[in-house]
């Protein structure tokens, strides 16, 4: 198992992973490519042999804040500590770029992800009503969570 920087050629492989990991609103190829571009090198993948089983992307908001734009682990590999490992690796890159704060938005019903973020030191800073377009578990609301880097 190996964490490395994402390459442009990885993006095609992420489409399947997205669809597997996000039952609602997975990013399509164009959205993944745009996020990759905006992340300016703050994108990483988790590889098992040649297979990509997870990824994470960060996008700078301003000079201080960086957003965890997306993070996903293949459902076959969830619950093994890889999500948190990817998150901490992404934070390390943010830190090296001089960011002071990591920010993210998560669906209020995504309790697994909220647990991971809390366990990694994030706290809820805001409730975002109807933040998402699509419903998930009967809700479009989200939390904004933050962590000092």
Ligand X SMILES: CC(C)(COP(=O)(O)OP(=O)(O)OC[C@H]1O[C@@H](n2cnc3c(N)ncnc32)[C@H](O)[C@@H]1OP(=O)(O)O)[C@@H](O)C(=O)NCCC(=O)NCCS
Which residue ranges make up the site for ligand X (CB under 6 A)? 21-22, 71-73, 78-84, 106, 110, 112-113, 115-116, 119
Q: How far is the CB of 85 from ligand X (least distance, A)?
A: 6
Which C-beta is closer to ligand X: that of 98 or that of 123?
Answer: 123
Q: How far is the CB of 97 from ligand X (least distance, A)?
A: 21
Q: How far is the CB of 12 from ligand X (least distance, A)?
A: 19
Q: How far is the CB of 14 from ligand X (least distance, A)?
A: 12
- Provide the 10 A C-beta neighbour count for residue 111: 11
Which C-beta is closer to ligand X: that of 63 or that of 126?
Answer: 126
Q: Are 87 and 71 in contact (CB under 8 A)?
A: yes
Q: Are 51 and 17 in contact (CB under 8 A)?
A: no
Query: Measured between alpha carbons, how far is 121 from 19 in angstroms, rounded to an integer?
Result: 28
Query: Measured between alpha carbons, how far is 71 from 87 in angstroms, rounded to an integer?
Result: 8
Which C-beta is closer to ligand X: that of 81 or that of 98?
Answer: 81
Cα 101 to chain center, whole Å? 15
Q: How far is the CB of 56 from ligand X (least distance, A)?
A: 8
Q: What are phi and psi of 106, to 5 degrees?
A: -140, 140
Nearest to ligand X by Cβ — which residue?
83
Q: Residue for token digits 């098992």?
A: 48
Query: Measured between alpha carbons, how far is 72 from 36 in angstroms, rounded to an integer?
Result: 14
Which C-beta is closer to ligand X: that of 78 or that of 139?
Answer: 78
Which C-beta is closer to ligand X: that of 22 or that of 131?
Answer: 22
């Amino acid at each position: 198992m190996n964490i490395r920087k994402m390459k442009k050629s990885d993006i095609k492989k992420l489409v399947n992973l997205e669809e597997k990991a996000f039952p609602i609103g997975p990013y399509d190829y164009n959205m993944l490519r745009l996020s990759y571009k905006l992340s300016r090198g703050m994108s990483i993948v988790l590889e098992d042999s040649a297979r990509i089983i997870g990824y994470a992307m960060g996008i700078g908001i301003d000079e201080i804040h960086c957003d965890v734009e997306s993070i996903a682990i293949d459902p076959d590999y969830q619950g093994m500590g890889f999500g948190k490992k990817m998150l901490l690796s992404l934070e390390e890159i943010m830190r090296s770029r001089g960011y002071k704060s990591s920010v993210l938005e998560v669906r209020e019903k995504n309790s697994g992800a909220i647990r991971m973020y809390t366990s990694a030191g994030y706290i809820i800073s805001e409730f975002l009503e109807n933040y998402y377009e699509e419903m998930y578990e009967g809700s479009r609301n989200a939390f904004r969570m933050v962590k000092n880097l």
